[in-house]
Amino acid sequence: MKNIQKDFEKNGYIVAPGNKDLLNQIRKTIFSNIKNIKKIKNKSDDQENITKIFNNFHKIIKLKDLNALRFNIYKKINTKKIFSKIYYEIAKEYLDQLVGNELSMQKKINLSIQMPKDKDSLLDLHSDIYAGESPFQVVVWIPLVDAYETKSMFFTNPKSNKKMNEQLLTTDKFTTKKMYDQNKKNFNFLNVKFGDILIFSPIILHGNTVNKTKETRFSLNCRFKSLLSPYDVTVKSHRNIPNFYRPLNIKPMTKIGFNYLKKYSL
């Protein structure tokens, strides 16, 4: 296996194989929720059928109804602790190497559905730290279908990332859209097949554009960070425990220490 730590430090992200059985399990859960909400002719949860329905979802639902359905599924998956547990287990091998084994996990797992030519699901060029998220976290992004070209996300060339971040944060010369338009050669769309997972730093610039393929993209994302690493680093925000994160894998001494300080009750 490639050197996960070295590749992550070099690029700001890694694309690596996830546990296919667990990935199939969470995909079946999403599909099951869709079946309960939307009438689908072929209700078989065979993986080949799920792939076909997800890729062609724009033929099943109207764009105006998409966000309501997405939010409905989002609420349902986040009421099940087992869903979060499986999500973590899919990435655990890599999180142990990149972040550590004493973690905090985002309380809500996000679901994204981007249909072809949909201009309402755009995520302009950005770095997550602009929204007050911790530079010590990672994002675990899981596509539920093959993500490629404009059906995927673009990421900055690591060599250009620092300079562009500084320009966006310290000058009024660029908007994020202008930065992307003038530096398209420095961004690459990642090819992330179903079965692989993408883990990236919040510092690296990324985003998406209009999906110009003929397929719909389903993807999930969730954030993890070392339990004892700083929160609210750049701006005061709600991205902390217990508002945004929940403790995960707490060692006994950490629990004793926190309870002694009475800062958190873990």
Least confident interval from 108-112, 236-240, 241-245: 236-240
Residue 94 lies in a domain: yes
Residue 159 lies in a domain: no
Q: How many residues does the chain have?
A: 266
Type and span of the H or E element at 200: strand 196-200
Distance CA 52, CA 180 (A): 33
pLDDT for 120:
85
| Residue whose C-alpha is closest to residue 129's, from 221, 199, 198, 223 | 223
Is pLDDT above 80 for 232?
Answer: no
Instruction: Give the residue numbers spanning the domain of 103.
Output: 4-151+191-261
CATH number reported for the structural domain that contains residue 100 in this entry: 2.60.120
Is pLDDT above 80 for 224?
Answer: yes
Residue 178 lies in a domain: no
What are the tens digits of pLDDT across the range 62-81? 999 999 999 999 999 999 99
Model confidence band, residue 43 (pLDDT cutoffs 50, 70, 90): confident
Residues 6+ apart with CB under 8 A from 81: none
Model confidence band, residue 129 (pLDDT cutoffs 50, 70, 90): confident
Mean pLDDT value across residues 24-39: 92
Q: Count CB neighbours of 2 within 10 A.
A: 8
Least confident interval from 20-29, 99-108, 118-127: 118-127
Residue 170 lies in a domain: no
Burial class (CB in 10 A: 0-12, 13-18, 19+), 91: buried
Question: Regarding predicted confidence, which is higher, 11 or 41?
Answer: 11
Residue 177 lies in a domain: no
- Average pLDDT score over the chain: 90
Residue 157 lies in a domain: no
Model confidence band, residue 36 (pLDDT cutoffs 50, 70, 90): confident
Residue 169 lies in a domain: no
pLDDT for 4:
92
Domain count for the chain: 1
Residue 181 lies in a domain: no
Is pLDDT above 60 for 8?
Answer: yes
